Amino acid sequence: MEFRLEDIDPDEIERRLAVVEPLTDSVRGLIDAVIRSEVDDAVLDRARARIDEITAELRVHQKPGGYGTPFTRDLRGMPWGNAATGLRNPIAPPLRPEHGAGVSTGSVHLGAAYEGPGGLVHGGVLALLMDQLVGECASTIVNMPHFTGTLTVRYLRPTKLGRVDLRAEVTGTQDRKTFVHVEVRDREGVTADGEAIMIRPKDFPGRDEVLAAIARTP
Ligand SMILES: CCCCCCCC(=O)SCCNC(=O)CCNC(=O)[C@H](O)C(C)(C)COP(=O)(O)OP(=O)(O)OC[C@H]1O[C@@H](n2cnc3c(N)ncnc32)[C@H](O)[C@@H]1OP(=O)(O)O
C-alpha cells in the first residue's frame, strides 16, 4: 500500500469522474458484447482493428504500473484502478460498498464477464468481492487500512449470474487484527460465506511523506 498525494478539490474529482466513468461503462459494455456476440467473423475482425486503433490512441500518454491510490489533502482515497471497485477499471463490476456501524454492504450485477460454470458466478470473482468488502469493512471501523491476512470462503451452493448482494460485519478486534464475517447472496438466498482475519500493517510506505506534504500546504 502506497500513499500518494494528489492535491485536487471535490469539483475536480467530479469533473474527472464525469469523463472516465462513462468511458469505463462503455468498455464494460464492449467486454460483454465481445463475449456474447454472434456476428460473423468479418465483423469481429473489423471490430478488432477499430479497438486496436483506440487502444493505440490511449497509450500515447500512460501512467507507469498500476493506477495506485492517490489521496487528496483531506485523505480522500481515489483507488480508481481497483479490481473490485475501480471507477475507471472496466474489469470491476464495480462494487460500491456502503459502510455503517461495523457493517459494510454492496450489490453488483454480475453478467457474462464473471461466469465460471455455465450460468453461474466464478468462485474467484466471489472471493475477490468478499476480499474487498472485508478489507473496507475492517479499514473503515478502525479508520486505518487493513490487509487481508487470511480469508476462508465456504461455497454453500452455486451463485446465479445476475444481482449479487454482499454483507460484511466486524466480529472482533485484537491488537492489529480485525475479524470479519462476510456473506454473499443471489436472488435465492445465501450462496457463500467467509471469515477474514484482517491485519493493520506496521508500516505504510509513503504515508509520512503525504502527511508532511499536507502539513506544509497552507
Ligand atoms: C481500504 C482498503 C481496502 C482494500 C481491500 C483489499 C483487500 C486486499 O486484497 S489486501 C491484499 C491481499 N493481502 C496481502 O497482500 C497481505 C500480504 N501480507 C502482508 O502484507 C503481511 O503478512 C501482513 C500485513 C498481513 C502481516 O504482516 P505483519 O504486520 O508483519 O504481521 P505480524 O507482525 O507478523 O503479525 C501480526 C499478527 O497477525 C497475525 N498474522 C500475520 N499474518 C497473518 C495471516 N496471513 N493470517 C492470519 N493472521 C496473521 C500474527 O499471527 C500476529 O498475531 P498475534 O499478534 O496474535 O501474534
Identify the pLDDT of residue 140.
87
| pTM metric for this prediction | 0.94
Mind listing the domains of the chain with CATH numbers?
Answer: 95-199 (3.10.129.10)
30 CA to middle of ligand 1, Å? 37
Rounded to the nearest angstrom, the distance between the alpha carbon of 146 and the centre of ligand 1 is 8
**DSSP code for 113:** G
Owner of C-alpha cell 478489507: 135
Q: What per-residue confidence (pLDDT) applies to 166?
A: 98
Residues with CB under 6 A from ligand 1: 131-132, 135-136, 139, 145, 147-150, 175-177, 197, 199, 201-202
Give me the pLDDT at residue 4, please.
Answer: 82
Rounded to whole angstroms, the Cα distance separating 21 from 23 reads: 5
Residue 81 per-residue DSSP state: T
Question: Which among 172, 192, 171 is positioned nearest to 183, based on CA atoms?
Answer: 192
Residue 5 is predicted with a pLDDT of 87
CA–CA gap between residue 185 and residue 191 (Å, rounded): 5
Residue nearest to atom 12 of ligand 1 (CA): 148
The rounded Å distance from CA 5 to ligand 1 centre is 25
Residue nearest to atom 29 of ligand 1 (CA): 201
Closest residue CA from atom 18 of ligand 1? 149
Instruction: Using the structure block, give the residue that is written with the C-alpha cell 470479519.
Output: 180
Alpha-carbon distance of 182 to 26, in angstroms, equals 31
Q: Which residue CA neighbors atom 41 of ligand 1 most closely?
A: 149
The predicted structure's pLDDT at residue 207: 64
Tens place of pLDDT for every residue, the chain, 218 residues? 666 889 999 999 999 999 999 999 999 999 999 999 999 999 999 999 999 999 999 999 999 999 998 989 888 889 999 999 999 999 999 999 999 989 999 999 999 999 999 999 999 999 999 999 999 999 887 778 899 999 999 999 999 999 999 999 999 999 999 999 999 999 999 999 999 999 998 876 666 666 666 566 55
Beta sheet of 98-99, edge-to-edge order: 98-99, 103-110, 162-174, 177-186, 189-199, 147-155
